[in-house]
Structure 1
Amino acid sequence: MTHVVGESCIGCKYTDCVSVCPVECFHEGPNFLVIDPEVCIDCGVCVAECPVEAIYDEKDLPDGQKDYVALNARLAARWPLITQSTEPLPEADEWASRQGKRDQLVEVA
């Protein structure tokens, strides 16, 4: 099992989770973060740090977000590693409460 970044991160990209990760498993795309399942040690410290509750244990992903397991793995292989917290996206607070954001995910950097 691993932890997975879900839909709530889209458009926000808060990076509080990155600064607490002991193994540097986060990768950064244009408007989303992902966790590399090959690196994640399933410690869970990132879960409590996410202000939009976007990080789940793989087995706890909400219905309709199960495909984020494969999505995180695929994008982690393509996107650059992020090892330090940065500022969230400019309109992160506005995006934080939105639902159904999957079609807004930008996969190409």
Structure 2
Amino acid sequence: MALIKHLPQDSALQRELHGEAAGWSVTDHLLAATVDHLAVSNWMFMCVNSGEDGDQPDPPKPVPRPGLRDGDEEEGTDAHENGGSAGGEESATVSPQALARFFG
């Protein structure tokens, strides 16, 4: 059991249990979040400096994360725009899924 518990993240067992998410390390998630934040920053810069009010560029698409469907990413965007939660109120606990949506 000790051998199985300490297998590397990219082992065949981890891939079987967790799918594509097993190949993503914390560094990979942080890099994807960095890319997303830079894309949003560039998009906001273009919106502010475009000069034309009616012709705004489309917002950038986030880097796909393992384990998230397209609808999950959209929910995260809506929750972020509403002040942190989908209903508008703040929750005391933050789930790993909420963190993943916030950072990407």
TM-score (norm 2): 0.25
User: Would you tell me which structure has more strand in proportion to its own residues?
Assistant: 1
Q: Which protein, 1 or 2, shows the higher relative CO under an 8 Å CA cutoff with sep ≥ 6?
A: 1
User: Would you tell me which structure has more helix in proportion to its own residues?
Assistant: 2
Which protein has the larger Cα radius of gyration, Structure 1 or Structure 2?
2
